[in-house]
Amino acid sequence: MPTMSTPRYTTLPHHGRFGYSAIHQRPDFCWPGGARLAVYLGFNIEHFAFGEGLGANLGPVSPHANTPDVLNYSWREYGNRVGVWRCLELFDALGLPAGTLVNTALYEHCPEVIEACVARGDEIIGHGHTNAERQSSMPEAVERELLQDCRDLILRHSGVAPTGWLSPWIAESLLTPDLLAETGYTYSLNWCHDDQPVAMRTRAGKIWSIPYPQELNDIPMIMGRQMDARDFAQMIIDNFDEMLAQSQGAQSQPLVMGIALHPYIVGQPYRLRHLRRALQHIAAHRDDIWCTTPGAIARAMDALAPVA
């Protein structure tokens, strides 16, 4: 008679950056001013190589080798020429700050765009040199050079070294958190696993993971799932109303809500009209929330470090 072998289970591979923690079992705290919900705009301004590399697509990529992808390149470039200015006008009208994630190739391509964000007082966040490439495939030395060069370029051109980073396409290597800490960054936006900041372990000590949305994000929703702009705006409103309720009351937790936007998508006129409605709804609650930037959230967590 055949005998049944005993299953042998092994521990699954783990990143080793942080352990499991249930959100309702953590120490309580408040954001500056006593707020319970921190809200930030993650405003992605990007530049792409013409005729090569990666990029979000509005239509099919040319099937022929060595043929420039005029359709998709020019659609993305609309964001830098038109969409970004319309979005900044909207942010100004509502008095909303932004965490501006920039490809450093913009300093050569259209420096006035970043200058306008700096003039607004927005936080400038590292987002690679171009979104036409991924850093996850880079050797360690090359990835380190990318992180350091982007930090140096932002400091040189905009006057303040960035403290935060979002990888193009959220593409990390196994060493990215280590290299971020070793090159002077204090937080990452790459991970979407929580509604509160999480301290990540690295070779050079702690780095904060600040929640960055992959659902409340126009690329996966509008481009990936083909969501209508009206529905995306309602999604922002519904997410905000629910998180505001979750952050209040006897069983509440302090939370972070990010909104990820790209001007070549939400800067299109018919989408901007719906985005305006969503941001007006949030701005109307400004006395109940902390309208902020990811860097300010990381600094607040440093001040709360014994609690966090």
pLDDT for 56: 81
Record the tokens describing residue 242, joined without a space. Answer: 């629910």
Q: What pLDDT does residue 307 have?
A: 58
Please give the CATH topology (third level) of the domain spanning 27-55+64-303: TIM Barrel (3.20.20)
Query: What is the token pair recorded at 234?
Result: 């309602």
Domain locations in the chain as residue ranges: 27-55+64-303
Angle among Cα 105, 213, 239 to the nearest 5 degrees reads 135
pLDDT at 65: 62
Q: Residue 72's pLDDT is what? A: 87
- pLDDT at residue number 4: 64
Judging by DSSP bridges, how do beta strands 164-165 and 99-102 pair with one another? unpaired
Instruction: Give pLDDT tens digits for 60-92.
Output: 676 656 778 888 899 999 999 999 999 999 999
- pLDDT attached to residue 5: 67
- Please report the pLDDT score of residue 308 as a whole number: 55
Q: What is the pLDDT of residue 176?
A: 97
In the numeric block, the tokens 């995306």 are attached to 232
Closest CA to 201 of 45, 62, 18: 18
**For every one of its 308 residues, what pLDDT tens digit does the chain have, with 9 covering 90 and above?**
556 666 778 889 999 999 999 999 999 999 999 999 999 999 999 999 887 888 787 776 766 567 788 888 999 999 999 999 999 999 999 999 999 999 999 999 999 999 999 999 999 999 999 999 999 999 999 999 999 999 999 999 999 999 999 999 999 999 999 999 999 999 999 999 999 999 999 999 999 999 999 999 999 999 999 999 999 999 999 999 999 999 998 789 999 999 999 999 999 999 999 999 999 999 999 999 999 999 999 999 999 966 55
pLDDT of residue 69: 83
Continuous segment of H or E residues that includes residue 296 = helix 294-303
pLDDT of residue 51: 78
Task: Give the torsion sign (CA, 294, 298, 304, 308).
Answer: positive
